[in-house]
Amino acid sequence: MSLRARLTLGIAGLLTLAIAGAFFAAYVVVRNELHEELDNALRGRATSFVRFGRATPQPPFRGIPGGAPPLGEATGYIQFVRADGTTVLPQDEHVRLPTTGAQAVATGARGPFFSTATVAGTHLRIYTTRLAGNTALEIARPLTEIDHSLGRIRMLFDAIWVAVVLAAAAIGLFVSRAVLRPVRRLTEDAERIAATGDLRERTDQSRSDELGRLAVAFNTMLDALARSVSAQRQLVADASHELRTPLATARTNLEVIELHGEMDGAERSRILAEAIDELREMTQLIEELVDLARGDVHVFETQLVRLDLVAEEAVAAAARRHGRAIDAELDETVVEGSPAALGRAISNLLDNAAKWSPSGTAIDVTVADGAVSVRDRGPGISEEDLPHLFDRFYRAADARTLPGSGLGLAIVRQIAEAHGGTVSVEPAEGGGSVFTLRLPPVPAPAPEPEPVRA
């Protein structure tokens, strides 16, 4: 069943139940009012007989005239019940009323009461009360008029019921169409975008209600998806471009060796060394691409990490790898993260500093309060390069002649964001740049209180 059908049935059902409840309450009120009027009439007629019975010690039951119409109708039908259970009818009456409870009223064991019974095919309302001399009086009036009135009311209610059900169904259909129209439009837009693949299309978000918020969220999702697809295409294009150069160079060098079989040994070794370097650079590029691609969906297994110890290992490895002096000032800092990923980020910062620092200059590394700062003494970074420094495959004009793929700093930013941190760069005093990796520090546990001595 569709949402529109369920909404229509729900609205129609609620309206029908509400109006049916109102009709039922009105019917009960009308019925009670009619019965109360009849009961008051019976009680008043009985009161006159009780007064007559008290004035006459032995009332002449046989002498009381009965009602001419059958079972009394508006005048009432009378019957006397003695304490021994015998019944006395007025003159010319022959239909006997039910005597259940009347003997107890005659003896005084029970008070007056009303009852309903069907006698000789007539629906009656009977009032039983006590007369003088251990005698009970039963007076009855037919409920025919009341039953006919209630029957007409029920027929009217049935007709109104049918009209209400139809009207409720129409109202429910109208409301469901009006409410679900934005949802249908959003569904059509989503199906069209899925069919065409055009992520530039947007849906209407002019409404200010919950459906408007849903449309805004849908457009926001399309924006994020479009950026993701654009970034993937850019990554593929940049990777293809970056891989093409070392691959073409290595292939050219190997073809030169193949075409010139008679080649000097030193020249042959030089060409092979260049091919090996190009292949090594391509291998490193592929590894960085894999790390960068896995980082988008990879969830690091975090733990409490001593950031200063991770930085110490990265500094020792970078010093051996580059043969450079690295001045480290490492304060104890605890963060939550992946030791391997954080070590990779710090190593990339150290490699970048070693690439830009002149030979014979030191690299400064500082760890404190959940932050790792790496300073180089290079020429610095131009203003136009700063906004794109951490983008994938971005290489400044001065860096295009140096080895590298342009992915190292992008990996640093990705690792920082995965740990809830940031990475930034700013000029250093005296020249060079300072790259800072900031991570949320873990507060140190409060010291346990010393025991109180007696």
Q: Is 3-150 assigned to CATH 3.30.450? A: yes
Class of domain 299-438: alpha beta
Q: Is 210-296 assigned to CATH 3.40.50.300? A: no
Q: Where are the domains of the chain?
A: 3-150, 210-296, 299-438
What was the pLDDT predicted at 229?
76
364, two tokens: 């400064």
The rounded distance, in Å, linking the Cα atoms of 29 and 27 is: 5
Long-range residue pairs from 115-122, CB within 8 A, at least 24 positions apart, any chain: 116/143, 119/71, 119/95, 120/70, 120/71, 120/95, 122/70, 122/71
* pLDDT at residue 436 is higher than 90: yes
Rounded to an integer, the average pLDDT of 378-404 is 68
What was the pLDDT predicted at 261?
64
What was the pLDDT predicted at 371?
92
* pLDDT at residue 265 is higher than 60: yes
Q: Is 0.75 topped by the overall pTM?
A: no
Q: What is the mean pLDDT of the chain?
A: 78
What was the pLDDT predicted at 454?
43
CA dihedral 172, 173, 176, 177 (to 10 degrees): -150
The predicted-structure confidence for 13-65, as pLDDT tens digits, reads as follows: 887 788 888 888 888 898 888 888 888 888 888 887 777 666 555 544 444 44
